[in-house]
A and B are shown apart, each in its own frame.
Chain A
Amino acid sequence: MMKKSRRSFLKVAAVSAIGIGAAPAISLSSSSNSQSTSNAVKSKNHEAKTAKRWGMVINCTKISDEVAENIVEACHKNHNVPDFNHEVNTEKYPNTRPVNHKQEVKWIWEEHFKYAFPDKEDEFLADKYKNLPFLVLCNHCKSAPCVKACPTQATFKREDGIVIMDFHRCIGCRFCMAACPFGSRSFNFRDPRPFIEETNPDFPTRSKGVVEKCNLCAERLAKGEQPYCVEASEGAIVVGDLEDPDSDIRALLNENYTIRRKQTLGTEPSVYYIM
């Protein structure tokens, strides 16, 4: 029988220790290429509209009551926003609690001048402004307070400036609603589905316990289409890239005097109003 010296035993032991230590690293590097998802790519739609910072101009002189109604309806219908005036189908949804209209959900709505622009209220404001419908919605602020308030990053700012919600992450704490100075956010106090007249299959509904708001039609921009409000506005609303000096929206801002809501708060709204 061969007799091993202590020296040769230690040599063999050391080499095997290195081998054992290195094995996982070797197998990891060789198997990473064969993993099935390694070559998969996630990308934008080919026809998607992109911008550095999306913004909106609303020409208030072009918006009549009728146009405003159409815009609100186009937005709310297509985004499955519940309408609590809708009569519930009791066969499909038995045991629906009576409605509390303070719990209304809205993405875009008509507002009086004094509420839309409280810091611009004037003793002798021209009469026409007192009666015009001002459409208000999420301002997609450059420095959005709701984003800062959200503890789960369910509300976040996309690279293209859209302040958007990840409903999967929303825990319904409503800090964002307290933080938003524009009241642009609504909470789902109840399951919205019984109050949706006709569900649009191309957009999800929400569930009880999440906050919702305008998403600047991110799902439409991704398909290269204009937001619903723009389509229904008969040219009164323009959405475009605020950071692109050659864009239509910048041309409009250049030609017209525009105001924004509660500018003094420093949230830098991206929605401009031509008066």
Chain B
Amino acid sequence: MSKSAIFTGLVIFIIVALFPFWINLGEIKPAPEPELLGKAKAAKKCVLDKIDMRANHMSLLDEWRDSVVRNANRIYTNTEGKEFEMSLSTGDNSCLGCHEDKSKFCDKCHNYASVDPYCWECHTDPKEIK
């Protein structure tokens, strides 16, 4: 008698435990790719190699903000000798200067990965202002 109770309990447990899998069954979507537009698409290469940027852009930006605010160094010359403005959104040579569309570049992945960096609480997207 207890055998059937145990088995039904077990089945219920397995169904509940696998909830995240079966609820998403049938709507598996690939992770979004950040969209490269305009200048960024033409440039092909960012400040660092693509793989480095993908993995380490947050520490690069962290390094940049300390450099700009605390040491007043605002120009970043990468290994290939190309100069960049260490700024999220001011000027053509900043992050958004090249990656024109914040919503298709930054937000796309951040929303998917559910990361919520507070950059844009203070920094402004020139497009959103207009």
Residues on A lying within 8 angstroms of B by beta carbon are 36-46, 48, 156, 158-160, 164, 166-168, 199, 201-207, 218, 222
Query: From A160, which residue of chain B is reached at the shortest CB distance?
Result: B72
> Taking the nearest CB of chain B, how far is it from the CB of A202, in angstroms?
5
> Taking the nearest CB of chain A, how far is it from the CB of B93, in angstroms?
11
Q: Which residues from chain B contact A168 at a C-beta distance below 8 Å?
A: 65, 69
Q: 8 Å CB contacts to A: which residues of B46-80? A: 48-49, 52, 60, 65, 67, 69-79
> Taking the nearest CB of chain B, how far is it from the CB of A170, in angstroms?
11
Q: Which residues from chain B contact A44 at a C-beta distance below 8 Å?
A: 72-75
- State whether A204 touches B124 (Cβ < 8 A): yes
- State whether A202 touches B90 (Cβ < 8 A): yes
Q: How distant is the Cα of A36 from the Cα of B57 in the complex, in angstroms? A: 13
9 contacts between A and B (CB under 8 A): A37-B48, A37-B79, A40-B77, A40-B79, A44-B75, A201-B89, A203-B90, A204-B124, A206-B122
- State whether A43 touches B77 (Cβ < 8 A): yes
Q: Which residues from chain A contact B78 at a C-beta distance below 8 Å?
A: 40
Q: How distant is the Cα of A36 from the Cα of B109 in the complex, in angstroms? A: 24
B86 contacts A by Cβ under 8 Å: yes
Q: How distant is the Cα of A40 from the Cα of B67 in the complex, in angstroms? A: 13
List 7 additional A-B contacts (Cβ < 8 Å) besides A201-B126, A204-B122: A36-B52, A39-B79, A40-B77, A42-B71, A44-B75, A48-B74, A166-B70
> Taking the nearest CB of chain A, how far is it from the CB of B57, in angstroms?
12
Q: Which residues from chain B contact A43 at a C-beta distance below 8 Å?
A: 73, 75, 77
- State whether A205 touches B124 (Cβ < 8 A): yes
Q: Which residues from chain A contact B124 at a C-beta distance below 8 Å?
A: 199, 201, 204-205
- State whether B122 touches A36 (Cβ < 8 A): no
Q: Which residues from chain A contact B122 at a C-beta distance below 8 Å?
A: 167, 204-207
Q: 8 Å CB contacts to A: which residues of B17-61? A: 48-49, 52, 60
Q: How distant is the Cα of A43 from the Cα of B52 in the complex, in angstroms? A: 22
Q: How distant is the Cα of A45 from the Cα of B87 in the complex, in angstroms? A: 13
Query: From B127, which residue of chain A is reached at the shortest CB distance?
Result: A201
B121 contacts A by Cβ under 8 Å: yes
Q: Given that A41-B77, A168-B65, A199-B129 are known contacts, is A204 also in contact with B70, CB under 8 Å in the complex?
A: no
Q: Which residues from chain A contact B49 at a C-beta distance below 8 Å?
A: 36
